[in-house]
Structure 1
Amino acid sequence: MNPSDRNGPRADERPEGRPTDLPVLLPFAISKNRPPARLRPVHGWLLCGLAVVALPAWAQGAGAGAALSPLEVVIKWAPLLLTGFAFNVAISLMAMAIGTLAGIGLGLTMLAEGRVLRRIAWSITQVFRNVPWLVLLFFVMFLVPFQVTVFGLRVPLPDWVKATFGFSLPVMANVAEIVRGAVRSVPNTQWEAAESLAFTRRQTMWRIILPQCAKRMLPPWMNVYALIAMATVQASIVGVTEMLTLTAQVHAAEGGRPELFAPLYGFALLCFFLYCYPIDRLTAGLERRFETR
């Protein structure tokens, strides 16, 4: 078919008196022999700019959608969890120091000559030794006020201070029993020899008996410390921000994923094990070294 026929009759062939046909736009046809259009430099820079803007947003969206593995989550939050563990260690050390000083005095009171003092000290020791530590902790948390006034100055008592005092009570009772048992284990001949040298009872206790009791008291004292270090996680129940509390917060921050439960709490378990196991081994070594026959 002739292309001129598709566009209608030419002007010289149209009959007179017939209205002129409207022009028709034919479809655009690409010639096979025509070279492809080249991308202008302006278009290339525009696409590069869009890529620079879009790629970071796409990467951020992809990173937000991809969940971290349990190991990556533990590594990510390890510094914060170790800070909480250091707080557990600090609470255990302070509770052990307070309880040891009070326990030595209570244990020596159980060895006093006065019968009334011995009975009172024995009763206090038995109460705090045979009451669950968590009950003592709740007792102290709700009984001790949030602040005290000393000479007109208000001194706040945060939860971790009250928790430290609560843990020191069972330490005091156990140390008192350790002191009493160590003094009783010294042979009576030591007392008789000191009496023959005109030593008073106080001089005999502080210069002869207690120095011999130090090596007897050290291993069980270290066992008590290992127990109190592991028991400090109970402070999370009363609102103290320590390792177990931070572990629960991290688990919630990661969306509460069930697969993170074991790794996060396993990391806490590993920290306490690595801290308490050397104490156990050292205690066993001291027991063998200081073994009395």
Structure 2
Amino acid sequence: MGRTREGRPLAVLLPYKTPERAPWRWPRLRLTHMVGLAGLILLVGGSAFAQQGGARLPALEVIWKWSPLLLSGFGFNILMSVLAMVLGTAAGVGLGLLQIGENKVLRGFAWSATQFFRNAPWLVLLFFAMFMIPFQFRVFGTTVPFPDWVKAVIGFSLPVMANMSEIVRGAVASLPSGQWEAAESLAFSRRQTLWMIILPQCVKRMLPPWMNLYSLITMATVQASIVGVSEMLTLTAQVHAAEGGRPDLLAPLYGFAMLCFFVYCYPIERFTLYLERRFQLNQ
């Protein structure tokens, strides 16, 4: 170590070491989570117990008997959410690229469409899709049915499209302008800069909000029950009616539906937080 004329030691700059990233692990349930799950289990089984005077728990038997049907309805909710995300993401990426384009007319149209569908109530968009799209089409003299669940997927894909468009625009805008300037100095065209330099850096910025959007659209698919789609909430109401409409089964049956959505969406939320920490998007 060197010293100054006065005999004081000189500071030494140590080489920079990249911090090691801990591998992703399944999140541990906290006390509040366990209390919530325990409360939900008590809600499912304890309601009937209290109303039956301490007798055997018929609510659990009813849930067990109808669980294959209810879980098939939950699988249909997942199917609608996945299809809505695929369709809405594809359209939203295109709309977001138009928002950052150079054509003023297309940029204005993309901005207007994004703001309209992003700020419209999801249930209203679902009603528009259900009643504005015909229930069948004629193609070369052949009648092709258009089921309600497909129209529901289109209705859910509209807010996904608008939010994905804003995610793309925000991710591109978050990059420093020096990226564009450096690419221009290297004689890259705007299209080459966008596809080879800008968008690859935006993927990690877009992934966490995209996953949050998927969780929201999954939970919103229960709104399809209002327009007659046989998903989990519709089947839950049918099971309740088939069991004689007993009031003591309301909380257990709908609590089971809520538990299914929680078990499915909670790991997605935790994995989203892990990605944010990994990509250091909060800095």
Give the TM-score normalised by structure 1. Answer: 0.76
Q: Could you tell me which amino acid in structure 1 is paired with residue 235 of structure 2?
A: L
Which whole-Å CA distance do the structure 2 matches of 1:222 and 1:68 have between them? 38
Q: Which runs of 5 or more structure 1 residues have no equivalent in the other structure?
A: 1-65
CA RMSD after TM alignment: 1.3
SS at match of 2:220: helix
Mapped to 2, the partners of 1:234 and 1:253 lie a distance apart of 22
Tell me the secondary structure at the aligned position of residue 205 of structure 1. Answer: helix
Report the Cα distance in structure 2 between the residues aligned to 1:172 and 1:128, rounded to whole angstroms.
8
- Alignment match, 1:222: 211
1:93 counterpart (68, 71, 82): 82
Matches within 5 A, 1:114-263: 114-263=103-252
User: How far is 1:291 from its partner?
Assistant: 1.6
SS, match of residue 113 in structure 1: coil
Task: For CA contacts below 8 A with separation 6 or more, give which structure has more relative contact order.
Answer: 2
Structure 2 SS opposite 1:231 = helix
1:163-187 CA-partner distances (Å, limit 9, x unpaired): 0000000000000000000000111
Instruction: Measure, in 2, the Cα distance between the counterparts of 1:199 and 1:181.
Output: 22
How high is the sequence identity, in percent, across the aligned residues?
72
**Which residue of structure 2 lines up, in the alignment, with residue 283 of structure 1?**
272
Alpha-carbon displacement from aligned partner over 1:53-90 (angstroms, at most 9, x marks no partner): xxxxxxxxxxxxx9971111011101100000000000
Q: Distance in 2 between matches of 1:106 and 1:154?
A: 32
Matched residue SS, 1:160: helix
CA deviation after TM superposition for structure 1 residue 116, in Å: 1.1
Of the three residues 68, 71, 74, the one matched with 1:82 is 71
The Cα offsets for residues 2-34 of structure 1, whole Å up to 9 and x where unpaired, read as xxxxxxxxxxxxxxxxxxxxxxxxxxxxxxxxx
Q: Distance in 1 between matches of 2:135 and 2:116?
A: 25
Aligned equivalents of 1:194, 1:150: Cα separation in 2: 48
Structure 1 residue 155, shift from structure 2 partner = 1.6
**Partner SS for 1:142:** helix
Provide the secondary structure at the position in 2 that maps to 1:149: strand
Q: List gaps (5 residues or longer) in structure 2.
A: 1-54
Equivalent residue, structure 1, for 2:58: 69
- Post-superposition CA distance 1:201-226 (Å, at most 9, x none): 00000000000000000000000000
CA distance in 2 between counterparts of 1:290 and 1:279 reads: 16
Partner deviation per Cα, 1:148-171 (whole Å, 9 max, x = no partner): 123333221000000000000000
Q: Normalising by structure 2, what TM-score?
A: 0.79
Structure with larger Rg: 1
CA displacement 1:254-293 (0-9 Å, x = unmatched): 0000100000000000000000000000001001111244
